[in-house]
């Protein structure tokens, strides 16, 4: 009788399980435009980069990214590498839903030319949103500030970024 009761309860227990796929990470590509402050002028700084995040617990994630930045000419360019902690407020957003996020971390800003000197540490913070267009692809909108790098002449480099996120 106990075996029969367990067999009858098994489908009910299986249907109570969470069917939402637990995505453990996502990657992104972006193009950014912004400016630098504190250099005596406001240049247009173009950025091109990629990154990725792995989720640790609910919306809390850790990530890394690499960025190429140029503000006019061969000697006015840099690589930016960052390690970040992020929080996604709607990590499991369905298609046509928005997943807002905030992030912050450490960066290293370095020259692109051989013999151009050593890089310098900086901090970064920002936020944005992924607008999920399909189950595995989203438009990414972000504002990011890289602050405190002594390598370049700017106190802050603030950029608006637009790109694609994939999970």
119 part of a folded domain = yes
Domain CATH for 160: 2.40.160.20
In a domain, 2, yes or no: no
For 120-162, what is each residue's pLDDT tens digit?
899 999 999 999 999 999 999 999 999 987 767 788 999 999 9
**Is residue 109 domain-resident?**
yes
Of 57, 109, 47, 49, nearest to 86 by C-alpha is 57
Q: How confident is the model over 79-103, as pLDDT tens digits? A: 999 999 999 999 888 889 999 999 9
Cβ atoms of residues 127 and 99 within 8 Å: no
- b/e for 88-99, b at 16 or more Cβ within 10 A? beebebeeeeeb
Residue 55 located in a structural domain? yes
For residues 82 and 65, is the Cβ–Cβ distance under 8 A? yes
Mean pLDDT of 26-55: 93
Asked whether the beta carbons of 112 and 79 are under 8 A apart, the reply is: yes
Domain that holds residue 124: 25-166
In a domain, 44, yes or no: yes
Total of domains in the chain: 1
CB contact set of 31 (below 8 Å; sequence gap of 6+): 46, 47, 48, 161, 162, 163
Q: 1 falls in which pLDDT band (50, 70, 90)? A: low
Please report whether residue 6 resides in a domain. no
Q: Is residue 148 part of a domain?
A: yes
In a domain, 151, yes or no: yes
């Amino acid at each position: 009788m106990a075996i029969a009761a367990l067999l009858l309860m098994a489908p009910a227990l299986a249907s109570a399980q969470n069917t939402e796929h637990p995505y453990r990470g996502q990657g992104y590509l972006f193009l950014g435009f912004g400016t630098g402050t504190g250099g005596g002028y406001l240049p247009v700084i173009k950025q091109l980069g990629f990154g990725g995040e792995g989720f640790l617990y609910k919306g809390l994630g850790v990530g890394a990214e690499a960025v190429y930045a140029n503000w006019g000419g061969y000697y006015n360019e840099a690589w930016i590498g960052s390690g970040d902690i992020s929080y996604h407020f709607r990590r499991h957003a369905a298609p046509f839903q928005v997943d807002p996020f905030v992030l912050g971390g450490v960066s290293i800003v370095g020259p692109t030319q051989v013999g151009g000197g050593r890089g310098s540490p900086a901090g970064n913070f920002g936020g944005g949103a992924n607008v999920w267009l399909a189950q595995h692809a989203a438009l990414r909108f972000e504002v990011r500030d890289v602050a405190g790098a002594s390598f370049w002449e700017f106190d802050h480099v603030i950029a608006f970024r637009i790109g694609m996120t994939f999970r």
